[in-house]
A and B are shown apart, each in its own frame.
Chain A
Amino acid sequence: MTGVTGASVARYWSAFRAVLTRETLRFIKQRGRFFAALVRPLIWLVVFAAGFRAALGLSIIPPYQTYITYEVYIVPGLIGMIQLFNGMQSSLSMVYDREMGSMRVLLTTPLPRSYLLACKIAAGAVVSLFQVYAFLAIAALFGITFSPAGYIAALPVLVLTGLMLGAIGLFLSSQIRQLENFAGVMNFVIFPAFFLSSALYPIWKMRESSDVLATICGLNPFTHAVEAVRFALYLEMAPLSLAVVAGVLVAAGGLTVIGYDPGRGLRTRQGPEA
């Protein structure tokens, strides 16, 4: 690639704006997706948390300075859930786009393919932010609030975690041959990622039952996404979690660029004969 001139910066920005606008328009038009994205964590917050609250005792653990209710504990986890589902939804739409042909329009744009794929990931992350802050607004109605600075401090972390989950989703979509296979793969990704994490219960609580499971939870990148968000909401840094999230983002993004086969949809639809 030649040097990046002012004109080419504008060109790159224009392409990102194109992808972001398209993803946003699609999201707005898919109202069901928005409501599902909000209802899912709200059910956890309002219904499940009520039951779990009595069963789980939470001690004071960082970043909390005092005893907290279970509802307060799981909000970062539910934010992670929103981004996790959004990342997977984005990857599903990418498989759909590939099957329907619209990925070809993107991938025949005369810009580096790695950049175009990064645009898709970034646009998905931005869309997830709308959902996260809408959820936080509703959570506030239930009395779960953070400091104004906490909401702001969480933003860059949410961008990072959204990018990581989007990159993982894109990597998965690059490995899926047909749309029909997607649901199965998701079942083996979303649920283990969510339940084997610190989203619903602290890892120390998990360790009381099983060291092995607690170790798995500790290794799960989604755990680190949740913890990074949790600490940011309380104006604290979680360096290890941030490093893990950034590392997984780079790894998943790199693997996607290396492994993405733009001709896959072409061959799937045309068959090897054409």
Chain B
Amino acid sequence: MSHDTILEVDKLSVEFPQDLSAQPNVVVDDVSFAIKRGQMLGLVGESGSGKTMLALSIMGLVPGLGHPSSGRILLDGRNLLQASDDQLQGIRGGAVSIVFQDPLASFNPVRPVGSLLIRSVMLHQMCGEKEARDRSADMLSAVGIPNPRQRMDSYPHEFSGGQRQRIMVALAAINNPRLIIADEPTTALDATVQIQVLDLLKSLTADCSLLLITHDLSVTAGVCEKIVVMRKGKIVESGSSDNILNNPREPYTRALIDAVPRYGGQRLLTSDSSPAGQPQPLLEVRNLDVAFVQSGRSFKAVDDVSLTLNRNETLGIVGESGSGKSTIAKAMMQLLRPAAGRITFDGQNLQDANQHELREVRRRIQYVFQDPYASLDPRWTIGKIIAEPMHVHHAGTAGEVLDRVADLIEQVELPADAIDRYPAEFSGGQRQRIALARALGVGPDLLIADEPVSSLDVTIQLKIARLLKSLQKKYSLSLLIIAHDLPLVYQMTDRVAVVYLGQIVEQGLTEKVLRSPQHPYTASLLSASIPESFAAVAAKLRATGEPASPLAPPGGCRFHPRCALATAKCAATAPVLTRDDDGTDVSCHFPGKVDAC
């Protein structure tokens, strides 16, 4: 072992005993790799691949009855598996620290964030409280928290998601660790913020090594020197980042790479998008406002949005969390009552529709929810779930409904015996298929899919996206896709609308908008989603900071505080959505200036 190796995992296996049967469940199987000083290593695998268990065994935190059964974990040459609990206690948060996925869940909500830092410093660096406070403030300022001395006394909920993750990183880095383990550190964050946190983590590797665990290969692309790919507890392939990403040897690695949606290449489009040349509008939204009341104050979650969805077309609505994209969709279905504006579906004004007409609309528009774990009643069989809308709309006799359900199960490529089983027996991807079958049963004209794949593993995402497009063709559906994942939207949609803080900032043909964005916000979203060739150009346009609260949107152009191109004019007056020569609507005082960068 060379002297600059920080961590060496040597033939490690982790087992969980299974009840009553003799065979233990091996979640990590004979895994070996090493991290050098200052290196950033990416550990990539789908859910269930054992990557998190591996990380937890380095920390000596394998839960329940699980335990490392063989192998060694060497930190600076010392075997952690033989360390006592007291020794491990000293190592955790000292020599090795961890950054978890969900920064809100990993902070104690009743303690100021500063107290965590201070306690950790006092414990590991053996210093007084005043000194610990100084060091904590320095660390917070190093990770980019403004006014660290005042903010130390704030509670976790008073920070935004990105800031919380920065504080988490500060907590991990404050005791000059030898190794930081980051377990899906950016998965819960918006794209523009994700890239900022990755940059921050990368900047730490001057002093320590980093183990980045993720399911998303594209996250490792820009930042890791070495990548280890895991599947079902075993290492499939490992090597330098360039090698793995550009010429993977193993088919599984290739599948993972192919699953990441890209710009260019084959798009999953329906060929006959607008058959008769002249597009026929199916759903029209004009000047839509949706208002909510929170702590006595009313605010507009959706502000003056106009959209048109044509027959057989796929429209994407793109935006970060809190941008109001789901609210627009819910208002379209009249699940929320708009404060102002008009929504017309197939010539019919939905605001004036009576209960009877609204029921018919709710047959013709179907909604697919983001989380297939929450949108299926766990107590219902799959057959009953799929039949529910048909029963609601009295679509045929019991026999006909049963035949239809069996047919739909086949259409979404589920096993035929699924009909009598319960949602708990199915994986996330299969559940989303069930949700799709349920939506199709009543013969809708329009399918609204709210983040249809974002809660699924990457390889499954692509399969569901393909299924969605093939079903669209078969049932001649119009499709509205709400997503934050730009490459996916690029692959699936004909036209796209980009939403920021409740307003549309850019709208037009997907090919045009995502290939040559006119609005700086679109450009910053694109730069955050890591298309390798784009990165250099767009780095200048990266959005700084995080979206403002929709409760109090900034005056003038809502994006100006984060915009690289903003001038005094942007802060003073709000730009109007105007159509350019390409037919793209842009709401910016300097449309096209993005190209100049």
> A and B, one complex?
no
Chain A interface residues toward B at CB < 8 A: none
